Amino acid sequence: MRYAVTIAALVLTVGVSACAAGANEEGFTRADQDAIKQKTADMAAAFNAGEIDKVVQHYADNSIFMPPNVPLLRGQEPLRGVLQGTCFGGAQRN
């Protein structure tokens, strides 16, 4: 009985380790890091220039925003409204 439990544990360990050796995915690369930095710089420049349309383009159509003291906002258009009303004083600058 003791050997059966030991063998079962050994088989289970080998089986689990074999399953864990799946396909290696490429990790986070330098190109990924550079792309994120560029997107961040582009978004900051658009925000500082008051270009609401360019800021909103950085968000997906199904984005969810949770501004303080306001109900949940879903999508780009509600974000556009919040940016126009609060960040840019109601007027878009170009």
Q: What are the angstrom distances between the C-alpha of 23 and each of 20, 38, 55?
A: 9, 30, 37
What is the reported pTM?
Answer: 0.58
* Total domains, the chain: 1
Tell me, yes or no, whether 8 lies in a domain.
no
The kind and range of the H/E element at 33 are helix 30-49
Alpha-carbon gap, residue 40 to 14, rounded angstroms: 45
Tell me, yes or no, whether 51 lies in a domain.
yes
pLDDT band at 3 (very low <50, low <70, confident <90, very high): low
Tell me, yes or no, whether 59 lies in a domain.
yes
Tell me, yes or no, whether 18 lies in a domain.
no
Q: Name residue, tokens 């439990």.
A: 5
Alpha-carbon gap, residue 36 to 42, rounded angstroms: 10
Domain of 68, in residue numbers: 39-94
Tell me, yes or no, whether 33 lies in a domain.
no
Tell me, yes or no, whether 25 lies in a domain.
no
pLDDT tens digits, residue range 6-50? 776 666 676 666 666 555 667 889 999 999 999 999 999 999 999
